Structure 1
Amino acid sequence: MKRNIVVVGMLLFVSATIWSCSDSDSSKSQDQDQNLEQSLELKSKTLSEAVGEITASPGFELITMSANTKDGTEEESDDRFSINREITLADIQGIYEFTQAEEETTETKMYKKHVFERTGDSELFIIHLPQEKATSPWKLYMEEEGDAELDNDFEVSTSQYHSSTVMNSDGFMFDYLLDADIKIEEEAAGEIFVDWNMNMSPDRKFNYVSEFGFANGYSVGHEFMFGDTTEFAYSLKMGDEVLYMEEVEYIRATNEAGAEYEYALSIGDIKIVKNSDSNDYMVYLNGEQQEDAIIEILDDTTVSEGETEGEEEADGAFCRRAFDIKITFDDETSVILSDLIGEETLAQLDKIYSSMHDMYFVKNLVDVVANEAYQMNMADNSENEDNSEE
């Protein structure tokens, strides 16, 4: 009897597997059989659904945090740009708990107040604090009624950290790296990666990359590079699958050659391209050019001319609502891309990407606590050295 049950179970498993593979192949075949208009409608819907799931996730509040969220307009100091200072992961390794305990100032202690206490060793830089403070970092050093009852249920675990600022006769140089995981109430909330360097010497080079991976499998990314070549990119992925990608590369004119540029916008398997070698935009479906489709740029101020001049031009993208796109299909029907994707989806994409440069959460929480940990450890090391000399 057992053997019969096993055999039947195996047959059911094999049948289910074959059906699943057949269904998957059928789905792929249907995608390939769709024309440009059908595929664009489907992929736009998939993009809108993805943005909806992202905005409903805990990580969305973190990534879109900004100074506009809080009351008041006072300017915060940015300790990352302290002249000629370097903080590495080795300087801040350990576990730090939010305590809001004020420490007495001594001659050897280099800080007046701290709200974190180093409670353990770790190869990582780990901070625990209440999520009420983490999501309102301007309240980090503000004592409020009920603070004593808050739980340290928010964790930032940093595996890579480096912040260096140098100013000399050659100019200003800044180098920054962060790789951190976030948990809320012990549940994964997201992953942050930032790689940023500036060289304000005569060469004037700027490179910035930021990525945020949500716990539901989606990720968003922003890249910007400025120098002899200017590039920017915005992306939204599900795992390795690209749901949205917008890229621009611009090479400045020289005495020998004119300016060169290429623009590309991808929504799933649909790609719209224009470069300095062509007068028209081209559209591809699954890698095949749709020669009868016509692309028109509406209210364009940046891409069609290729006149990217600096970092602010990274705002000149469709996902930042700098222009719109009209697509006319081979049957002479047409659609406006913003209408197809939806105003709410575009507004949320703009909110996400506008927040991903110099992220407020990183600057005003992770870096602030890293600076406190650095000062704390420097003061402790100095005090230990003084005690050993005695």
Structure 2
Amino acid sequence: MKRNMLAFGTILFFSVALFSCSESSDSNTENDLTLEESLTAKTSTLSTAVSTITESKGYEILTLSDSDTKTSTEDDDSRFSAAITLDDIKGVYEYSAAIAEDTTETKMSYNSKFEKTGDSDNFVVKLPKEKANNPWNLYLEEEGDSTLVNDFVITTTQYNYSFSGGFEFNYLLNSSIEVEEEAAGELYVNWSISEDLNYEYESKYTFTDDYSVGIEFQYGDTVQYAYMLKNGEDVLFKEALSFYKNDEENGRSYEYTLAIGAIEIVKSSSSDSYLVYQDGELQEDAIIEVVSDTSESTDDEHVFCRKGLDLQITFADGSVVILSELLGDGTLDKMTEIFSSMYDMYFVNHVVNKVAHEAYYMNNSED
């Protein structure tokens, strides 16, 4: 018995020691990578993330645009005057292609495709995926509408819409999306505009495999933009650009940061060149140069992830890479599409907000 316990103890000791060595070895392997090796590994991880995202249902929802879906030539004004909270619209609303005309008339003609079918503490919208993917056709009568199934479900747990004309605007949305009984992700938008035209905007889409993309934008005395792609809490990509007023007449100072994993490239108006850090340590032998610059781009587009600039990196051994090429064919194009869509939010404007608007008036007419 003692012999067996001794043998077991010996095995346990060596197992723990081997595991510890393995963990240490993995850590050392990461730390021992050169800047070029680390950047290659981190860009590969980022490219894999972008590829996975573009194959998801969430990507299809996020990147809807009027160029794909708009059938009308009329100008679109997605904002309307109203003050709507979640309490005003909570309930279950379902698309129906066969709402009777007299019912439509009592709903003042703007509520022609949705009925309130149940109670809920949330704002739940059920509609066919064919209509959700073509929001410009949501209220058009098309052949085959009567056979469509309400297999696209939006569950909104936070909602606030406030706009009375002019400039001031406040908006909050927190929704989860399900397509054909499968989760498709979660969408968050927080947006405000003050009367003096100060902006604050944040949007985030979390996919079902823990990847998430988000942007933050602030406009006032300080102008800031930030673009992020994360896996859980791990930042795979972050690019930020800030402009500050300085003492010079009409002058602005700026700070720029691009991070891919633990590698960070920084530049400011007070420095003559880009600096690159690996795990927080300055890599003095690396040289960063801008090889393309979209001179006519606006501030928010003057970043790598929206193809406003591209960077060439020369390493200590003289080898050279172009950052967009290192990411691989098509990756930067997809990143540009994703981050641009985080501003536009056609799905929010032409599905969620339109049904919320109708639900609000529907409930008020019932009162």
- Aligned equivalent of 2:80: 81
In the TM superposition, what whole-angstrom CA distance separates every residue of 1:294-344 from its partner, at most 9, and x where no partner exists? Answer: 110122356xxxx99xxx421111011111101111111111111101240
Q: Which moved more, 1:145-154 or 1:102-111?
A: 102-111
Relative to 1, partners in 2 of residues 1:15 and 1:321: Cα closer, same or farther, differing over 3 Å?
farther
2:362 is aligned to 376
Determine which of 117, 127, 130 is the counterpart of 2:128. 130
> Residue 328 of structure 1: which of 303, 306, 314 is its match?
314
CA shift for structure 1 position 81: 3.2
Distance 2:105 2:36 in 1: 71
Map 1:1-390; keep pairs closer than 5 Å.
23-70=22-69, 72=71, 74-75=73-74, 77-82=76-81, 85-100=82-97, 101-104=99-102, 109-167=107-165, 172-199=167-194, 201=195, 203-254=196-247, 259-301=252-294, 312-381=298-367
Aligned residues: 361
Task: Report deviation, 1:283.
Answer: 0.2
1 CA distance for matches of 2:12 and 2:365? 64
1:333 maps to a residue whose letter is: S
CA drift at 1:107: 8.1
Q: Distance in 2 between matches of 1:74 and 1:11?
A: 78
Deviations, residues 240-280 of structure 1 (Å, cap 9, x unaligned): 00111000111123469953211000011100001122111
Is the 8 Å Cα contact of residues 163 and 177 (structure 1) preserved in structure 2? Answer: yes
Letter in 1 for 2:51: G
Residues in 2 aligned to 1:148 and 1:16: alpha-carbon distance in whole angstroms = 64
1:111 and 1:376 in contact (8 A); partners too: no
Which residue pairs with 1:387 in the alignment?
none
- Please give the TM-score of this superposition, normalised by the length of structure 2: 0.90
Code of the residue aligned with 2:85 in structure 1: it is T
5+ residue gaps, structure 1, are: 382-390
* Residues 175 and 282 (structure 1), Cα distance of their counterparts in 2 relative to 1, 3 Å cut: same
SS at match of 1:50: helix
| Matched position secondary structure for 1:351 | helix
Cα distance change of structure 1 residues 271 and 79 upon mapping to structure 2, 3 Å threshold: closer
CA distance in 2, matches of 1:248, 1:119: 47
CA RMSD of the aligned region, Å?
2.7
- Normalising by structure 1, what TM-score? 0.85
Decide whether the 8 Å contact of 2:167 with 2:197 is kept in 1. no
Question: Given the superposition, is the C-alpha separation of residues 15 and 349 from structure 1 closer, same or farther in structure 2, using an over 3 Å criterion?
Answer: farther
